[in-house]
Amino acid sequence: MVYRRGELIEIIDGTHPTAPRWPAYAHQGLIMLSAVAIAVETENGLPGWLRLALFGFEIFVLCTFAAEYLLRLWAAKNRWGYATSFWGIVDLVSVLPLFFVLSSNWT
């Protein structure tokens, strides 16, 4: 099925009347799993492979959230309005760590 640009936000939020709800459930699941991963990562003595796996998962989550932010920005009727709204700023702040992680100065 083909959806209009304006319907994408409803699909992401799980409020579209005919689209499946799994994108919204997947998004909520990623938020919860990310919180668990961050909590586990604070434990001392984790094996190196687990630290690497958690770091990879965090990068995956950040990339997913960055893609969601860009999709919401693209689909918004008033892009500047979304970008400067409370939730737009929250979404932007949630993906800013990705730029720090991907910079060559991050250690």
Q: C-alpha distances in angstroms, 29 versus 33, 76, 82, 84, 102?
A: 6, 24, 24, 26, 24
pLDDT reported for residue 36: 94
pTM over 0.75: yes
The pLDDT-based confidence of 30 (bands split at 50, 70, 90) is very high
CA 63 to CA 83: how far, in whole Å?
18
CA 77 to CA 45: how far, in whole Å?
49
Q: Which of 67, 75, 1, 61 is nearest to 32 (CA)?
A: 61
The pLDDT-based confidence of 64 (bands split at 50, 70, 90) is very high
Q: Provide the percentage of residues in the chain whose pLDDT is more than 90.
A: 49
